[in-house]
């Protein structure tokens, strides 16, 4: 079984509007950057940056760090592979799930709307016919 560890190195939260509150209707756009940090036969480390921009322009949240995956080559490849052009790699979903609590707490502290927990998700499994 593959082991995944997420390490946060930097968190930034910006309140871009003095009129924003936790109840302000907003959606978040997510920009993601993943880059290789270190690789061995049964180990892969990736740097990540998640930038969430509130729409309308009321807030911005940024989390950077790295994720390490230890397991077989096939297990690691399964985590970083996209199923299709519209889906996120499983490792990206895992990173978002692990940092979501931090994003929520920062949003509450800044009195801005919090992003949704499933904003980065996998497509639903295909239904058998």
The pLDDT, as a whole number, for residue 40 is: 93
Asked whether residue 119 is assigned to any structural domain, the reply reads no
Mean pLDDT of 75-97: 90
pLDDT in the model for residue 114: 93
H/E run at residue 31 = strand 27-40
What is the pTM assigned to this prediction? Answer: 0.89
Kindly state whether residue 127 falls inside one of the protein's structural domains: no
pLDDT number for residue 122: 63
pLDDT recorded at residue 123? 60
pLDDT above 60: residue 87: yes
- State how far the Cα of 57 lies from the Cα of 16, in Å rounded to an integer: 7
Average pLDDT over residues 78-97: 90
Res 124 pLDDT > 60: no
| Whether residue 37 has pLDDT greater than 90 | yes
- Domain membership flag for residue 121: no
The domain in which residue 58 lies consists of 3-110
Q: What are the tens digits of pLDDT across the range 40-78?
A: 989 999 999 999 999 999 999 999 999 999 999 999 999
pLDDT at 127 exceeding the cut of 70 = no
Q: Is residue 49 situated within a structural domain?
A: yes
Mean model confidence pLDDT for the chain: 91
- Tell me if 126 is assigned to some domain: no
For 98-124, give the DSSP string.
Answer: HHHHHHHHHHHHHT-PPPPTTSS-PPP
* Cα 72 from Cα 61, distance rounded (Å): 34
- Asked if residue 47 belongs to a domain, the reply is yes
Q: How many CB atoms lie within 10 A of CB 86?
A: 7
Residue 124 lies in a domain: no
- Domain of 41: which CATH number? 3.10.420
Number of domains in the chain: 1
Residue 9 lies in a domain: yes
């Amino acid at each position: 079984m593959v082991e995944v560890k997420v390490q946060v190195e930097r968190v930034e939260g910006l309140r871009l509007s003095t009129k924003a509150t936790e109840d302000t209707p907003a959606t978040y756009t997510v920009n993601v950057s993943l880059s290789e940090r270190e690789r061995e036969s049964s180990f892969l480390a990736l740097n990540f940056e998640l930038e969430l921009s509130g729409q309308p322009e009321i807030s911005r949240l940024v989390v950077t760090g790295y994720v390490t995956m230890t397991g077989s080559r096939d297990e690691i490849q399964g985590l970083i592979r996209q199923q299709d052009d519209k889906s996120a790699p499983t490792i990206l979903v895992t990173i978002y799930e692990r940092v979501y609590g931090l994003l929520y707490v920062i949003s509450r502290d800044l009195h801005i709307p919090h992003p949704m927990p499933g904003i980065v998700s996998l497509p639903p499994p295909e239904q058998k016919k």
